[in-house]
Amino acid sequence: MNARKLVAAVGIVLGTALVATACGGSSNDGGATTGELGFAHNKPWNFDAFSKVSQQDIGISLKSTQYSGDPYRAFIRQSFRTKESPGLFTWEVSTALDELAEQGVIAETTDLWTEAVDKGYVTDAVRQLYTVKGKQYCTPISVDDWVMFYNKSVFTKYGITVPKTWDELMKAAATLKQHGVTPFWNQTKNWAFVWFQTILAGTDLQLYNDLSTGKAKYTDPRVVAVMNSWLDLQKKGYFNDPGQTDFARDLMREGKIAMAPEGTWFTADAALAGMTMGKDVDMFVIPAVKPGAATPIAIETAPVCVGESSKQKALGLKFSQWWMSPQGQQPWVKQQGNLPFNKDAEAPTPQTKALKTTLAAGKYEYYNRYFEATPVPIRTVALEQFSAFLTNRGDPMQYLQAIQTAADEYWAGR
């Protein structure tokens, strides 16, 4: 049995054995709008404190069950074949969301989005990420900007100031390398896209967007040039061993890396590693590789969805509506130390407030993170090929050709 079939088989077993637990038991909640809501998720966060807030505010607590990796996705898909689809569960936007919406297994949330956008809680640009054939599905936990986090003590020790341009960033990396410090975090598998995204979008954002819609090819000479730039950084020793499985937060805490491009959710990761924002770690906007009219910033949004046939559908939709409101956003971002997507919720720390001010005052162009922007069948192959490129450090063309083959197959059917 190959690895993918094994994962699917494990998922089916998990789905059959554990679905009742993850979905909050087998009781029929009908149209109840208070009570304990089953919440299946694949996030590293603790939802217990947030559950206490929701219980006090809207009479709903969370019974959360955490999973990780591919077995989680298999478990969720299997749950729709049972009588116990989730009351609430985490997922992802992109074609993965499209698939569930088109299958009719997740609840429509158009009314929730209409209300939230009309009240100014969420922007229409974010709503578009949750739109399938003119209707909305799921709602956001967060909308994160991808910035560069850095170890403050390392910067101070070597007299490095926050880079404002790509050249300054590269000079900082050279200085760190000279002193025996690895400048940047880099990793294979699900994170293998990070530097491809950073360099490509920072060089030619239109080309980046054209790749995601099939208007450009991975074998385009401009994409090859980006891969060679990435290869050059690897050869200079600017990255940690990409095969390391350590979290970026742990490598940064230990001073083994100085910087890591991450979503603003990394503020919570830093806290889990015992680091304090502003004291141990801080963040800055990643400069464009090729200076232009606007600096590109990747956005990442984490959805929660409700099963269409779930016995807790009403409960899940009520919780989703509350999470988008200022009453739900404020305690959530305070717990996470993150930027709120709701304009009526305050940024919880001096660092997030400073970033919010910077973003409001500057000229930035936002784009969808590669993981969500790229159709899943193409992304799956791309992550495998980027990982191989990172571990073999050779001519990028063979890897790009493999990705383009997958892209050709996908777009041929569209």
Domain boundary among 347, 367, 387: 367
Indicate if 320 and 389 belong to the same structural domain. Answer: no
For the chain, the distance separating the N- and C-terminal CA atoms, rounded to the nearest angstrom, is 31
Residues 167 and 316 occupy one common structural domain:
no
| Domain shared by 331 and 382, yes or no | no
Residue 34's Cβ-side half-sphere holds a number of Cα atoms within 13 Å equal to 5
Q: How far apart are CA 249 and CA 337, in angstroms?
A: 15
DSSP state of 93: S
* 221: phi then psi, degrees, rounded to nearest 5: -55, -30
Runs of H (alpha helix) within 23-93: 48-58, 69-79
Q: Do 389 and 363 share a structural domain?
A: no
> In order along the chain (414 residues), what is the average pLDDT of each group of 10 residues?
33 35 45 90 92 97 90 91 85 92 97 97 92 97 96 97 97 98 96 98 97 97 98 97 90 96 94 94 96 90 95 96 96 93 92 91 92 94 97 96 98 89
Q: Is residue 28 part of a domain?
A: no
Question: Considering the domain boundaries, does residue 221 fall inside one?
Answer: yes
- Residues 326, 307, single domain; the answer is yes
What's the CA gap between 191 and 242, in Å, rounded? 10
C-beta separation of 180 from 297 below 8 A: no
Domain enclosing residue 287, as ranges: 146-298+369-412
- Kindly list the distances between the CA atom of residue 260 and the CA atoms of 48, 211, 270, in Å, as whole numbers in the listed order: 28, 25, 11
- What is the predicted pLDDT for the residue at 27? 39
Please report which helix (H) or strand (E) contains residue 136, including its range.
Answer: strand 135-136
Is residue 16 included in any domain, yes or no?
no
Whole-number Å distance between alpha carbons of 18 and 36: 17
Both 126 and 243 in a single domain? no
- Tokens of residue 166, six digits: 């790509």
Residues 243 and 337 in one domain: no
Same domain, 162 and 279: yes
In a domain, 399, yes or no: yes
Cα–Cα distance measured from residue 294 to residue 316, given in angstroms and rounded to the nearest whole number: 39
Given this model, what pLDDT does residue 362 score? 84
pLDDT for the residue 22: 44
Domain count, the chain: 2
Residue 299: beta bridge partners?
145, 368
User: Is 3 inside a domain boundary?
Assistant: no
* Whether this model's pTM surpasses 0.75: yes
- Residue after which a domain boundary falls, among 350, 367, 384: 367
127 lies in a domain? yes
- Domain identity same for 278 and 399: yes
- Note whether 374 and 325 are same-domain residues: no
Q: Are residues 201 and 289 in the same domain?
A: yes
Between CA 224 and CA 218 the distance in angstroms is: 8
- The torsion angles phi and psi of 260, rounded to 5 degrees, stand at -150, 125
8 inside domain: no
What pLDDT does 30 receive?
Answer: 57
Residue 210 neighbours by CB under 8 Å, 6+ apart: 216
- State the Cα–Cα distance between residues 380 and 391, nearest whole angstrom: 17
- Check if the beta carbon of residue 96 is closer than 8 Å to that of residue 87: no
Count of other CB atoms within 10 angstroms of residue 48? 10
In a domain, 1, yes or no: no
Please indicate, yes or no, whether residues 307 and 349 belong to a single structural domain of this protein. yes
CATH number at residue 391: 3.40.190.10
